[in-house]
Amino acid sequence: MEAFALNTFYQILVFLHIFSAILGMGPGFILTTVVKSGNNMTELRHSYAIRHKLHIFVMIGGTLLLVTGLLMGALNPGLFKMGWYVTSLLLFLVALAMGPFALTPKSKPVKALLNSHHGEDIPSEYYPLAKALFRVEYLENTIFIIIIALMILKPF
């Protein structure tokens, strides 16, 4: 009976893990696209407001991904000997660290510009700032695609 309960709990964790990936990573892949649609400052500010709301799903989903992934590892310690699991975990931690160390420094000047600029025209200084931010976001999305591929294929 105990093995059945443990297996059921593990299957629930797998379900929550997959659901968390959809909840967290799905919106994360479109964060850059959302703000690219702004053609003037009002639209751009609105796009960044929508982006901020979507980012909440990314943070909740990402937290649940980490927690459920580690709980699955605790219940099945053999996962820590699997290269795909360890690599995925390390890549996830790198992506998590990119938030405060790469994304925040790139997003602060964009936010400051959005808050300080008057008028409807998008200032020319916005574009290189956004390009630098998007570059980091594309790198992070690439990391997440690699993680997803590792989770599906389990190649090593």
Q: Amino acid identity, residue 41?
A: M
Per-residue pLDDT tens digits of the chain, which is 156 residues long: 688 889 999 999 999 999 999 998 999 999 999 999 899 999 999 999 999 999 999 999 999 999 999 999 999 999 999 999 999 999 999 999 999 999 999 999 999 999 999 999 999 999 999 999 999 999 999 999 999 999 999 999
Residues 6+ apart with CB under 8 A from 32: 134, 137, 138, 141
At 132 the pLDDT is: 97
What SS3 string covers 29-59?
CCHHHHHHCCCCHHHHHHHHHHHHHHHHHHH
Beta-carbon contacts of 38 under 8 Å, excluding residues fewer than 6 positions away, are 44, 45, 46, 47, 48, 122
| CB-CB contact of 23 with 57 (8 Å) | yes
Give how many domains the chain has, as a whole number.
1
Report the candidate in 152, 104, 149, 109 with the shortest Cα–Cα distance to residue 130: 109
Q: What pLDDT was estimated at residue 37?
A: 87
Q: Which domain holds residue 142?
A: 2-153
In this prediction, residue 1 carries a pLDDT of 60
DSSP state, residue 136: H
User: pTM (2 decimals)?
Assistant: 0.90
Neighbours of 129 (CB within 10 A): 19
Q: What is the pLDDT of residue 107?
A: 96
Would the CA dihedral through 87, 91, 92, 96 be positive or negative? positive
Give CA separation, 111 vs 49, 60, 116, 121, in Å.
11, 22, 9, 16
What is the reported pLDDT for 3?
84
